[in-house]
Structure 1
Amino acid sequence: MRNIIVALMVIVGFSGLTIAQEARVVAEDDHVAFFKSVSGDVKVVRGNSALVPVAGTQLFRLDVVSTGPNSSSGIVFKEGTLLTLGSSTEVEISRFLFQPEAEKYDFSLYMSKGEAIYSSGKLGKLAPGSINLNTPRAAVGVRGTRFIVKVD
């Protein structure tokens, strides 16, 4: 009887690890973009914490990316959109949804300062009306595939 109880505890313990591992994989897969390049003083604010990214660092919805003077970063979104941030720039990933099988698309950035180069990925081809870039004074609806935006 004791061996059966020990065996059940081992099985339950392993299944608990499997569930935890699966939850971690799902959470890691919720990223919306990653850094292709980082140069100089670049920070990501995620919730109440800040981190210094390197190439490959994943980005999530509601992350705020800021670059310092003489700094820049290249960001690649899951569907191929490229965003290059220049020096002294701050941008928040407000919304990102790319589910072509369900025809659900949504992409919104808030840029409070700085300059960036935007180059559309699949979203720009499939649902250009779902892309928005907001600044303190203007909202840009993306209809082209590549543009530069500067916020003073």
Structure 2
Amino acid sequence: MSHLSRSTGALLLIGCLLTLFIRDTAAEENRGRSLPLKRLSEELRNLAPKDYFIPSSQKQVGVIDLLTGNVIIAHGVDKQAYFGMEGDPLYEKDRLITLAGSKCHIQLLDGDAITVASETEFTLESFEEGKEEGRKSSFIKMLKGRALFYAMRLFSYKDGKFIVATPTNAIGVRGTKFGVHVYLMEGRRSLTDCFCEEGVVDVDGKIVASGNMYNGLTGQVIPTPADVLRSFKEATEFQTDPQSGKGIGTLGSSPPDRPIPPPVHVPPARPVTPPSVVTPPRPAPPPPHPDLPMYHR
């Protein structure tokens, strides 16, 4: 009887291992297979993305947490490229390109996160953290598209930096949640819009507080239009995280286990009283009535 039980247990174990192997193999085979290479642009075809994971010699800085559609990852050092999948590690100098109809959520190892919309391209340039020295720096180059950044508050660091560089602007962050849109105008002129949902953003020296945005066309800071927020939400929103059941990459919510930082208070300008409502001067008292007796000493 015990021999039969041991045989049954062994068969079950073999079956489970075989199922895991088949599932993982099928997942690997799904890397970009649904997308014919002829549908890629010439630039992406020249990258010759592989349908299997390729490790990098650079240090790991994050992981693909969620993915809808296809993303191409090109290592910055050896230039090898492949189709990414959920769970893939990301390395310093990695260049990420989401294809049409695709989006992904990236969890960085330092606690920050990025939700990347369709047809977006950026590079995880450099990431340094020295807790003992009170130092932290993150540098991302963004060439095109839209991305929503959840940057960890850096006030606990003596030297803390989070910078997103676009072809036209340098965006500095001091603990915030913000969106960046890099797009081309006529004549291939690149422009950058940046809106701030929480905290403060510095765009080339112009302060963008919560609820405002930097307009790349005019170079002015204005209140964020509702359609900008709506467009970003549609482009970056995932339904739910299948593990935690929480929404990820949505406006109005921070990544799981990350508290929403309190909004930065920006005091309103002192109102100026218009001339029409200025209090008139008090009239002089009337002279004494002639019929009233006058008292003399």
Query: Structure with the greater relative contact order (CA < 8 A, sep ≥ 6): 1 or 2?
Result: 1
- Determine the structure 2 residue equivalent to 1:63: 94
| Residue of structure 2 aligned with 1:105, choices 136, 142, 146 | 136
Pair 1:116-2:175 in alignment = no
SS of the aligned residue for 1:80 comes to coil
* 8 Å contact from structure 1 (residues 111, 134) kept in 2: yes
Aligned partners of 1:124, 1:83: CA distance in 2, in Å?
Answer: 17
Aligned residues, how many? 125
With normalisation by structure 2, the TM-score equals: 0.40
Which has the higher Rg, Structure 1 or Structure 2? 2
Tell me how far 1:39 sits from its aligned partner: 1.2
Moved more, 128-137 or 69-78: 128-137
Q: TM-score, normalised by structure 1?
A: 0.75
Find the aligned partners of 2:130 and 2:170 in 1 and give their Cα distance.
Answer: 24
- Whether the 8 Å CA contact 2:66–2:86 is kept in 1: the answer is yes
The Cα shift of 1:102 comes to 2.6
RMSD over equivalenced CA pairs, Å = 2.0
Counterpart of 1:94 in structure 2 is: 125
- Structure number with higher helix proportion: 1
Of Structure 1 and Structure 2, the greater strand share is in: 1
Residues 129 and 141 in structure 1, CA contact (< 8 A), matched pair in contact too: no
For residue 32 of structure 1, the aligned residue among 54, 61, 86 is: 61
1:45 maps to 74
Give the share of equivalent positions with the same residue, in percent.
26
Looking at structure 1, the residues matched to 156 and 96 of structure 2 have their Cα atoms a distance apart, in angstroms, of 26
Counterpart Cα distance in 2 of 1:144 and 1:106 = 12
Alignment of 1:14-33 (within 5 A): 30-33=59-62
Contact kept? 1:129, 1:142, Cα under 8 Å: no
